Amino acid sequence: MRILTLTAAVLATTALTGVTPALANDDLKIVDEPLELTVHIHHVRSTAYDENWPVEKVAQELTNVYLKNATVGSNTTNSEEAMNLLLATGKLPDIIGSARIKEAVDQYGPQGAFLPLNELIEEHAPHIKAFFDENPDLMKAASSSDGNLYYIPYLPDGKYGRGYFIRYDWLETLGLEVPNTVDELYEVLTAFRTQDPNGNGVQDEIPYFARQWEELPRLVTLWGGRSSGSDTYHDFYVEDGKIQYPYMGEGYKEGIKNLAKWYEEGLIDPEVFTRGSSSREYLLSENLGGMTHDWFASTAGYNDSLADKIPGFSFKAMIPPENVNGDRIAEHRRILVKPDGWAIGGTNKHPVETIKYFDFYFSPEGRRLVNFGVEGEQYTMVDGKPQFTEEFLTNGRPVNSQLYEIGAQLQARGYYQDYEYEKQWSNQYALEGIELYEQGDYLIPDFLGVAMNADEQRVFDKYFSQARTYMLEKQQAWILGAADVEEEWDAYMSQLDRMGMNDVLEVMQSAYDRQYGG
Amino acid sequence: MSGVFLEGIVKRYGSLSVVHGIDLEIKPREFVVLVGPSGCGKSTTLRMIAGLEEISDGTLRIGDRVMNRVAPKDRDVAMVFQNYALYPHLNVADNMAFGLRIRKTPKDEIAKSIEEVAQILGLTEYLERRPADLSGGQRQRVAMGRAIVRHPDVFLFDEPLSNLDAKLRTQMRAEIKRLHKRLGVTSIYVTHDQVEAMTLADRIVVMADGRIEQIGTPMDLFNNPVNTFVAGFIGSPPMNQFSAVIEEGQGGLVARANGTTIPLPALEELRGAAGRDVVVGIRPEHVHLGAEEGTSAIPIELDLIETLGSEALLHTHVGNETFVAKVETHGEIGHLQGVNALHVKPERVKLFDRETGRAIGRAA
Amino acid sequence: MANISNSPSDRSDGVIAGSAPSVGPTRPFAKRLDRIQMHLRREWQIYLMLAPTIIWFLLFLYRPMYGLQIAFKDYSVFLGFEGSPWVGFEHFQTLFQSDQFLRALKNTVIISSLTLVFGFPMPIILALMFNEILNETFKRTAQTIVYLPHFISSVIIAGIIITAFSPSAGIVNTVIGWFGVEPIYFLTKPEWFRPIFIGAGIWQEAGFQSIVFLAAIAGVNPSLYESAVVDGANRWQMMWKITIPCIMPTIIIMLIIRIGNLLEVGFEMIILLYQPATYQTADVINTFIYRQGLIGGQYDLAAAAGLFNAVVAFTLVMTANTISKRVSKTSLW
C243 contacts: CB under 8 Å, gap ≥ 6: C128, C131, C217, C220
- Same-domain pairing of C188 and C322: yes
| Cβ-Cβ contacts under 8 Å, B104 against chain C | none
Read off the pLDDT of each residue in A354-379 and give the average, rounded to a whole number.
94
- Same-domain pairing of B140 and B38: yes
Beta bridge partners of residue A36, listed in sequence order = A66
Choosing from B169, B190, B225, the residue where a domain stops is: B225
Flag whether A413 is in a domain.
yes
Nearest to A345 by CA among A54, A10, A67: A67
Flag whether C11 is in a domain.
no
Chain Cα centroid distance, residue A93: 28
- Same-domain pairing of B175 and B263: no
Restricting to C residues 60-89, those with a Cβ less than 8 Å away from any Cβ of A are 76-80
Q: Note the pLDDT tens digit of each residue in B173-212.
A: 998 999 899 889 999 999 998 889 999 999 999 999 999 9
Nearest by CB to residue C297, choosing from A103, A468, A480, is A103
Q: What is the pLDDT of residue C294?
A: 58
- Same-domain pairing of B70 and B96: yes
Total structural domains in chain B? 2
Q: What is the pLDDT of residue A19?
A: 40
Give the three-state DSSP class for B363: coil
- Same-domain pairing of A190 and A299: yes
Q: Note the pLDDT tens digit of each residue in A417-473.
A: 999 998 888 888 999 999 999 898 898 888 988 888 888 988 888 888 889 989 999
Using a threshold of 3 CB pairs under 8 A, tell whether chains A and C touch.
Answer: yes
- Same-domain pairing of C234 and C108: yes
Residues with pLDDT less than 50, chain C = 1-23
Q: Note the pLDDT tens digit of each residue in B37-85.
A: 988 999 999 999 999 999 999 999 998 899 998 988 889 899 999 888 8
Q: CB C223 to CB B50 under 8 A?
A: no
DSSP B183-234: H--EEEEEES-HHHHHHH-SEEEEEETTEEEEEE-HHHHHH--SBHHHHHHS
Put simply, whether C279 touches A (Cβ < 8 Å) is yes
| Cβ-Cβ contacts under 8 Å, C248 against chain B | 89
Total structural domains in chain A? 3
Side chain identity at A326, as an amino acid letter? G
> Quick check: B351 and B278 in contact, CB under 8 A?
yes
Cα–Cα–Cα angle for B88, B90, B95, nearest 5°? 100
B158 contacts: CB under 8 Å, gap ≥ 6: B43, B46, B47, B79, B80, B81, B82, B190
Flag whether B235 is in a domain.
no
Nearest by CB to residue A88, choosing from C77, C98, C188, is C77
* Count of all residues that appear for chain C in the document: 333
How distant is the Cα of B75 from the closest Cα of chain C, in angstroms? 8
Chain B interface mutation, best of C221, C223, C224, C230, highest count of B Cβ atoms under 10 Å: C230
Coarse DSSP helix, strand, coil percentages of chain C, rounded to the nearest 5 percent: 80, 0, 20
| Cβ-Cβ contacts under 8 Å, C94 against chain A | 462
CA distance A279 to C46: 61
Flag whether A106 is in a domain.
yes
Flag whether C48 is in a domain.
yes
- Same-domain pairing of A251 and A345: no
Coarse DSSP helix, strand, coil percentages of chain B, rounded to the nearest 5 percent: 30, 35, 35
In this model, does residue A127 exceed pLDDT 60? yes
- Same-domain pairing of A173 and A313: yes
Q: Note the pLDDT tens digit of each residue in B319-350.
A: 888 899 998 888 888 888 888 888 888 888 88
> Quick check: B177 and B200 in contact, CB under 8 A?
yes
Restricting to B residues 40-69, those with a Cβ less than 8 Å away from any Cβ of C are 47, 50-52
Going A223 to A224 to A228 to A234, the CA torsion angle's sign is negative
CA distance B298 to A230: 118
The CATH code of the domain that includes C310 is: 1.10.3720.10
Q: Note the pLDDT tens digit of each residue in A52-86.
A: 999 999 999 999 999 999 999 888 888 888 888 88
Nearest by CB to residue C231, choosing from B83, B90, B99, is B99
The CATH code of the domain that includes B104 is: 3.40.50.300
Q: CB C276 to CB A460 under 8 A?
A: no
Read off the pLDDT of each residue in A498-514 and give the average, rounded to a whole number.
94
Exposed/middle/buried for A360, CB within 10 Å: 0-12, 13-18, 19+?
A: buried
Put simply, whether C246 touches B (Cβ < 8 Å) is yes
DSSP A48-97: S--TTSHHHHHHHHHH-EEEEE--S-TT-S-HHHHHHHHHHHS---SEEE
The strand order across the sheet containing B341-344 reads B287-288, B341-344, B296-299
Flag whether A447 is in a domain.
no
CA distance A147 to A119: 12
| Cβ-Cβ contacts under 8 Å, A80 against chain C | 297
Nearest by CB to residue C232, choosing from B85, B87, B102, is B102
**At residue B25, what are phi and psi to the nearest 5 degrees?**
-115, 120
DSSP B10-48: EEEETTEEEEEEEEEEE-TT-EEEEE-STTSSHHHHHHH
Flag whether C3 is in a domain.
no
Element (H, E) at A19: none
Exposed/middle/buried for C264, CB within 10 Å: 0-12, 13-18, 19+?
A: middle
Flag whether B361 is in a domain.
no
CA distance A238 to A236: 7
CA distance C173 to C162: 12
| Cβ-Cβ contacts under 8 Å, C305 against chain A | none
Element (H, E) at A343: strand A341-344
Nearest to A49 by CA among A34, A72, A66, A71: A71
Flag whether B17 is in a domain.
yes
Q: What is the pLDDT of residue C64?
A: 80
Put simply, whether C226 touches B (Cβ < 8 Å) is yes
- Same-domain pairing of B13 and B151: yes
Nearest to B317 by CA among B341, B345, B335: B341
Q: What is the pLDDT of residue C26?
A: 57
- Same-domain pairing of B192 and B151: yes
Residue A153's pLDDT band (cuts 50, 70, 90): very high
Flag whether C23 is in a domain.
no
Flag whether B186 is in a domain.
yes
Give the three-state DSSP class for A145: coil
- Same-domain pairing of C312 and C281: yes
The residue range of the domain holding C67 is 32-72
Q: What is the pLDDT of residue B317?
A: 87
Please give the torsion angle defined by the CA atoms of residues A26, A341, A423 and A209, in that order, rounded to the nearest 10 degrees. 180
Nearest to B313 by CA among B348, B289, B349: B289
- Same-domain pairing of C106 and C37: no
CB neighbourhood size of C82 (10 A): 8
Choosing from B175, B194, B225, the residue where a domain stops is: B225
- Same-domain pairing of B190 and B163: yes
Better-predicted residue by pLDDT, C261 or A171: A171
How distant is the Cα of C228 from the closest Cα of chain B, in angstroms? 7
- Same-domain pairing of C276 and C160: yes
CB neighbourhood size of B74 (10 A): 11
Q: What is the interface size between B and C, counted as CB pairs within 8 Å?
A: 62
Nearest to A319 by CA among A197, A438, A161, A184: A438
Residue A518's pLDDT band (cuts 50, 70, 90): low
> Quick check: A92 and A113 in contact, CB under 8 A?
yes
- Same-domain pairing of C67 and C149: no
Give the three-state DSSP class for A241: coil
- Same-domain pairing of C56 and C116: no
- Same-domain pairing of C212 and C313: yes
Strand pairing report for A206-208 and A341-344: unpaired
pTM: 0.74
> Quick check: C108 and C281 in contact, CB under 8 A?
no
Q: What is the pLDDT of residue A9?
A: 42
Nearest to B124 by CA among B108, B111, B107: B111
Exposed/middle/buried for B82, CB within 10 Å: 0-12, 13-18, 19+?
A: middle
Q: CB C229 to CB B52 under 8 A?
A: yes
Chain A interface mutation, best of C66, C76, C77, C272, highest count of A Cβ atoms under 10 Å: C77
Q: What is the ipTM of this complex?
A: 0.80
CB neighbourhood size of A433 (10 A): 24
- Same-domain pairing of A400 and A476: no
> Quick check: B37 and B229 in contact, CB under 8 A?
no
Better-predicted residue by pLDDT, A90 or B167: B167
Q: CB C227 to CB B150 under 8 A?
A: no
The CATH code of the domain that includes A254 is: 3.40.190.10
B145 contacts: CB under 8 Å, gap ≥ 6: B92, B96, B114, B117, B118, B120, B121, B123
Put simply, whether C232 touches B (Cβ < 8 Å) is yes
Strand pairing report for B240-248 and B211-216: unpaired
Exposed/middle/buried for A352, CB within 10 Å: 0-12, 13-18, 19+?
A: middle
A439 contacts: CB under 8 Å, gap ≥ 6: none
- Same-domain pairing of B76 and B158: yes
- Same-domain pairing of B210 and B130: yes
The residue range of the domain holding B250 is 240-353
Flag whether A325 is in a domain.
no
Q: What is the pLDDT of residue C14?
A: 38
Flag whether C165 is in a domain.
yes
Total structural domains in chain C? 2
> Quick check: A357 and A63 in contact, CB under 8 A?
yes
How distant is the Cα of B307 from the closest Cα of chain C, in angstroms? 38
Q: What is the pLDDT of residue C19?
A: 43
Better-predicted residue by pLDDT, A454 or B111: B111
Q: Which of A10-14, A182-186, B248-252, C68-72 has the highest average model confidence (pLDDT)? A: A182-186
Q: CB C80 to CB A460 under 8 A?
A: no
In this model, does residue B362 exceed pLDDT 80? no
Put simply, whether B151 touches C (Cβ < 8 Å) is no
Q: Contact partners of B by the rule of 3+ C-beta pairs under 8 A?
A: C
Q: Note the pLDDT tens digit of each residue in A260-274.
A: 999 999 999 999 998
Give Cα separations from C158 to A163, C161, C162 (angstroms): 30, 5, 6
Give Cα separations from B331 to A118, B21, B309, B336, C67 (angstroms): 117, 49, 7, 11, 82
- Same-domain pairing of C61 and C141: no
Q: CB A271 to CB C279 under 8 A?
A: no
Give Cα separations from B80 to A366, B5, C223, C303 (angstroms): 94, 20, 10, 61
- Same-domain pairing of A350 and A314: no
Q: What is the pLDDT of residue C293?
A: 66
* Count of all residues that appear for chain A in the document: 518
Q: CB C275 to CB A273 under 8 A?
A: yes
CB neighbourhood size of A22 (10 A): 16
**At residue B133, what are phi and psi to the nearest 5 degrees?**
-95, 10
Q: Note the pLDDT tens digit of each residue in A313-355.
A: 999 999 999 999 999 999 998 889 999 999 999 999 999 999 9
Q: What is the pLDDT of residue C1?
A: 39
- Same-domain pairing of C44 and C148: no
Give the three-state DSSP class for A209: coil
Choosing from B225, B253, B275, the residue where a domain stops is: B225
Q: What is the pLDDT of residue C9?
A: 40
Q: What is the pLDDT of residue C25?
A: 53
Residue A88's pLDDT band (cuts 50, 70, 90): confident
Read off the pLDDT of each residue in A249-267 and give the average, rounded to a whole number.
95
Flag whether A441 is in a domain.
no
Put simply, whether C228 touches B (Cβ < 8 Å) is yes
> Quick check: A142 and A153 in contact, CB under 8 A?
yes
The residue range of the domain holding A145 is 35-156+338-418
Q: CB B85 to CB C245 under 8 A?
A: no
Flag whether B253 is in a domain.
yes
- Same-domain pairing of B84 and B219: yes
Restricting to A residues 283-302, those with a Cβ less than 8 Å away from any Cβ of C are none
Q: What is the pLDDT of residue A21?
A: 41
